[in-house]
C-alpha cells in the first residue's frame, strides 16, 4: 500500500462534500477518480496533499514514499525558459554532475594516497550518478517537453510569455521527469492535443510508480486505469477495472439496488395489508398475530430509495426544417495569418445526416476553419457553399456568441423574444440554472456554466446544421453522455471539433484529420481512425509532391478520391438494401411454394407437384446466391 484514505470527511459550512471516504492505492497501481462537477474530487486531492485539513479521518502515505501533484491551474513564474524550467526538476542530478566535474579538475593536482581516496569518492559518486540515469537526463527532459506538445521553437520561450494551459503543461513535464512514487494528477489532459494525450497515455502506462488521476476524459481513463474511485453524493465507492468496466458495473449495481428497494417495498406493503386484515377480524388470536407481525416489520432494516444526483441537463435537439442532401461544400480553401501558414487547397463535403468530427493537433487551424464556415473569418482563397435550406447553429468554445454584460435570463429572452418568462426559466432550469442563478451576469459565471448557456441557445435555435467547437469542454461525464445521446438522436447534420476521443467515438460517423496542411478522410468513428491512421498517413506521404506548383493538383486529386470513395460507399449501401429486399421477396416465395406442396389437391397431382418442386428448387438456389451476395456486400 502506497496511499490510503481512511474515513475522510469534509464540509464547507452546512454543505457536506465528503463523508467517510475510504480507499487505498497499491504500489504501481493506476486509479481514476470520477464524479460530477462539484462532487469533491479536487477537494479530496487537496486533502491528500495537505493543502486542506479534513474534518475527520486521515490520509496515510507509505513510509519514505514521494508524491508529485499536478493541480488544474498553475502559476509558474520566473525568468526561465521552458527547457530550463523542466530541467530544474533534475536539480539534484545537475548538482551531482557539477560535483563530478569539480572532482575531475581537482584530481589533476593529487597523487599517492590522497589521489586513491579521492578516486574512491569519485567512483562512488559516479556510480550513483550513472544509476540515476545521469547521462541521459537531458535527452529525457527533451523528450518529455516534445511529448507534451512543445515545438523546438518553444524550448527557448520565457515562462512569462506562456498561457495558463502552457504553464500547466510545463508543470506536468517537471513532475514526469522527477518520477515520484505516486503521481496525483488533476485533469492532466486539459490543454493537451490528441497526439500529446496519446504520448501521455503511453508514458503513464509504462510508469513504474503509482498514478491517481482525476479526469473527465473517459477514453484516457479506459487506456490507463485499472481501478475507479467514484465520488457520488458525498460518498465513495470503488470499482475494479477501467472506465467502461465501471460504467457496466455501476449500471448493474444501480439496477440491483432499485430491484431490492422495490422488492422490500412490496413485502412491507404486503405485511401491512395482512396486519390490517388480521386486526379487522377483531379476534384476540388474530390481534396477537398482527402485533407479532408488526414487531417483525419494525425490525426490518429499511432500504433507502436509490437516487440520482441532480445533474441531468435536458437537451432535445431537433431541426425545424429539413435541409437539402448537400449541406456543405468546401473547395480549395486556404488560410494564413502573416507568416503563420495554416492550410491550403482544402476540399471536402458534408451530406445531410452526417456527424463529422474535425480533428488535428493544436494550431493546425480547426477553429479557424469553423469560423470561416460561419463567415467570422475571411477566406484567403477558395469557396465555401452551403446547401439548400441549411440553417446553422454555432457553438463557440470561446463563447463569443454570448453577451458578457447580460444576465442569463436576458441572454435567452433577448435572443428568443417569443418566449414567456416562465418558458425562459424552464429552459434555464433544464440546464441546471434555477432560482436566482438566472440573474447572474454572463461575465460572472464559469466556463462550464457558459457552455451550458450556449447549449441552451443551441437547443432553442432549431438549426439543421450544428457546428460545434469543443462542446464537451468543462462538462462533467454525466453531461457529456447526455449531449452524446442528444446528438445521436438528432436528425440534422453535425460538424464538430473535439479533443474528447470518447465523445468522438460515440458520435462521429466520419472523421476529417487536418494534418500536414491537408485533410485526410476516415469513414468511421475514432476507433476506425486509429485502425487506419498509419496506413492513411503513408498514402498521404506517397502522393504528396514537394514542389509548390503541384500542391493544387494534389489537393484536387485527394478531393476527387474522397468523392469517388463516398460515391462508392453510397452505391454499395444501395446494393445492400436492394439485396435485402430481394431476399425478403424470395423467402416469401419459398414459403408460399412450401405451403402449396402441403395442399391435398396438389399432393395428389403428380404433374402439378413436379412443377412446384421445380419452382421451389430454382427459388431456393436463387435465395442461396442472394445470401452469398449479401455477405460479400455486408463485408465490404
Q: Is 630 exposed, middle or buried (0-12, 13-18, 19+ CB in 10 A)?
A: middle
The confidence score (pLDDT) of residue 546 equals 52
Reduce the DSSP state of residue 69 to 3 states and report it: strand
The confidence score (pLDDT) of residue 543 equals 57
Q: E strands along 352-420, which residues? A: 355-359, 381-386, 392-395
Q: What is d(CA 392, CA 463) in angstroms, rounded to the nearest whole number?
A: 6
The confidence score (pLDDT) of residue 592 equals 83
The confidence score (pLDDT) of residue 184 equals 95
In this structure, are residues 451 and 475 in contact, taking their beta carbons and an 8 Å threshold?
A: yes
pLDDT tens digits, 430-476: 887 888 888 999 888 877 788 888 888 888 888 899 999 988 877 77
What's the 3-state SS for 520-589? EEECCCHHHHHHHHHHHHHHHHHHCCCCHHHHHHHHHHHHHHHHHHHHHHHHHHHHHHHHHHHHHHHHHH
The confidence score (pLDDT) of residue 515 equals 86
pLDDT tens digits, 34-83: 988 778 899 999 999 999 999 999 999 999 999 999 987 777 888 899 99
The confidence score (pLDDT) of residue 603 equals 67
The confidence score (pLDDT) of residue 212 equals 96
The confidence score (pLDDT) of residue 547 equals 45
- Sequence ranges of the domains in the chain: 247-298, 326-544, 570-635
The confidence score (pLDDT) of residue 628 equals 66
Residue where the block lists cell 432500504:
303
The confidence score (pLDDT) of residue 356 equals 96
The confidence score (pLDDT) of residue 560 equals 63
Q: What is d(CA 438, CA 436) in angstroms, rounded to the nearest whole number?
A: 5
Q: What is d(CA 148, CA 83) in angstroms, rounded to the nearest whole number?
A: 12
What is the CATH topology of the domain spanning 326-544?
Rossmann fold (3.40.50)
What DSSP character marks residue 398?
A: T
Query: Which residue ranges in the chain fall short of pLDDT 50?
Result: 545, 547-555
φ, ψ at 240 (rounded to 5°):
-80, 145
Q: What is d(CA 71, CA 45) in angstroms, rounded to the nearest whole number?
A: 9
Name the strands in the sheet holding 340-351, side by side, starting at the edge strand that comes first in the sequence.
340-351, 326-337, 381-386
The confidence score (pLDDT) of residue 550 equals 46
**Nearest in space to 346 (alpha carbons), one of 328, 362, 319, 361:** 328
Please give the angle made by the CA atoms of 58, 62 and 65, to the nearest 5 degrees.
125
The confidence score (pLDDT) of residue 353 equals 92
Amino acid at each position: 500500500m502506497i496511499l490510503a484514505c481512511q474515513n475522510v470527511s469534509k464540509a464547507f459550512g452546512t454543505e457536506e462534500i465528503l463523508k467517510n471516504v475510504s480507499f487505498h492505492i497499491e504500489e504501481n497501481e493506476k486509479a481514476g477518480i470520477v464524479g460530477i462537477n462539484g462532487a469533491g474530487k479536487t477537494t479530496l486531492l487537496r486533502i491528500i496533499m495537505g493543502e486542506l485539513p479534513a474534518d475527520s479521518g486521515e490520509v496515510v502515505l507509505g513510509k519514505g514514499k514521494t508524491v508529485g501533484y499536478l493541480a488544474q491551474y498553475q502559476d509558474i513564474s520566473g525568468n526561465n525558459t521552458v527547457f530550463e524550467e523542466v530541467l530544474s526538476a533534475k536539480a539534484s542530478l545537475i548538482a551531482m554532475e557539477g560535483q563530478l566535474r569539480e572532482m575531475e579538475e581537482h584530481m589533476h593536482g593529487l597523487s599517492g594516497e590522497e589521489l586513491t581516496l579521492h578516486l574512491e569518492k569519485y567512483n562512488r559518486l559516479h556510480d550513483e550518478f550513472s544509476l540515476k540515469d545521469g547521462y541521459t537526463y537531458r535527452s529525457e527532459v527533451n523528450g518529455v517537453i516534445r511529448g507534451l506538445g512543445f515545438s523546438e521553437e518553444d524550448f527557448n520561450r520565457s515562462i512569462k510569455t506562456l498561457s495558463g494551459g502552457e504553464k500547466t503543461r510545463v508543470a506536468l513535464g517537471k513532475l514526469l521527469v522527477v518520477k515520484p512514487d505516486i503521481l496525483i494528477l488533476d485533469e492532466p489532459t486539459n490543454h493537451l492535443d490528441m497526439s500529446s494525450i496519446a504520448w501521455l497515455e503511453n508514458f503513464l502506462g509504462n510508469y513504474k510508480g503509482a498514478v491517481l488521476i482525476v479526469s473527465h476524459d473517459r477514453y484516457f481513463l479506459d487506456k490507463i486505469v485499472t481501478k475507479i474511485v467514484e465520488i457520488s453524493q458525498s460518498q465513495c465507492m470503488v470499482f475494479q477495472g477501467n472506465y467502461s468496466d465501471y460504467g457496466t458495473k455501476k449500471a448493474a449495481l444501480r439496477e440491483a439496488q432499485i430491484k431490492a428497494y422495490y422488492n422490500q417495498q412490496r413485502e412491507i406493503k404486503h405485511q401491512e395489508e395482512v396486519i390490517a386484515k388480521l386486526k379487522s377480524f377483531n379476534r384476540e388470536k388474530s390481534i396477537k398475530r398482527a402485533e407479532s407481525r408488526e414487531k417483525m416489520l419494525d425490525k426490518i432494516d429499511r432500504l433507502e430509495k436509490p437516487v440520482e444526483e441532480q445533474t441531468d441537463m435536458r437537451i432535445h435537439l431537433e431541426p425545424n426544417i429539413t435541409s437539402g442532401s448537400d449541406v456543405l461544400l468546401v473547395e480549395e480553401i486556404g488560410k494564413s495569418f502573416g507568416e503563420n501558414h495554416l492550410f491550403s487547397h482544402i476540399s471536402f463535403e458534408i451530406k445531410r445526416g452526417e456527424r463529422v468530427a474535425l480533428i488535428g493537433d493544436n494550431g493546425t487551424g480547426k477553429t479557424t476553419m469553423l469560423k470561416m464556415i460561419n463567415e467570422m473569418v475571411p477566406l484567403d482563397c477558395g469557396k465555401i457553399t452551403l446547401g439548400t435550406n441549411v440553417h446553422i447553429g454555432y457553438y463557440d468554445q470561446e463563447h463569443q456568441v454570448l453577451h458578457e454584460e447580460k444576465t442569463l435570463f436576458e441572454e435567452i429572452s433577448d435572443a428568443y423574444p417569443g418566449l414567456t418568462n416562465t418558458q425562459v426559466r424552464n429552459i434555464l432550469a433544464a440546464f441546471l440554472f434555477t432560482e436566482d442563478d438566472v440573474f447572474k451576469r454572463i461575465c460572472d459565471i464559469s466556463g462550464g456554466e457558459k457552455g451550458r448557456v450556449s447549449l441552451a441557445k443551441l437547443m432553442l435555435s432549431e438549426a439543421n446544421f450544428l457546428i460545434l467547437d469543443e462542446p464537451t469542454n468543462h462538462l462533467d461525464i454525466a453531461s457529456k453522455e447526455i449531449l452524446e445521446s442528444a446528438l445521436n438522436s438528432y436528425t440534422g447534420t453535425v460538424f464538430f471539433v473535439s479533443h474528447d476521443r470518447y465523445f468522438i467515438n460515440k458520435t462521429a460517423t466520419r472523421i476529417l484529420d487536418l494534418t500536414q496542411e491537408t485533410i485526410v478522410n476516415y469513414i468511421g468513428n475514432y476507433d476506425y481512425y486509429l485502425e487506419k491512421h498509419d496506413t492513411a498517413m503513408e498514402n498521404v506521404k506517397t502522393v504528396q509532391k514537394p514542389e509548390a506548383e503541384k500542391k493544387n493538383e494534389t489537393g484536387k486529386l485527394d478531393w476527387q478520391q474522397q468523392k469517388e470513395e463516398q460515391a462508392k460507399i453510397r452505391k454499395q449501401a444501395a446494393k445492400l438494401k436492394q439485396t435485402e429486399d430481394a431476399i425478403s421477396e424470395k423467402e416469401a416465395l419459398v414459403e408460399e411454394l412450401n405451403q402449396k406442396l402441403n395442399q391435398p389437391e396438389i399432393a395428389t397431382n403428380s404433374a402439378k407437384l413436379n412443377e412446384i418442386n421445380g419452382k421451389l428448387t430454382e427459388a431456393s438456389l436463387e435465395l442461396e446466391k442472394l445470401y452469398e451476395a449479401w455477405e460479400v456486400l455486408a463485408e465490404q
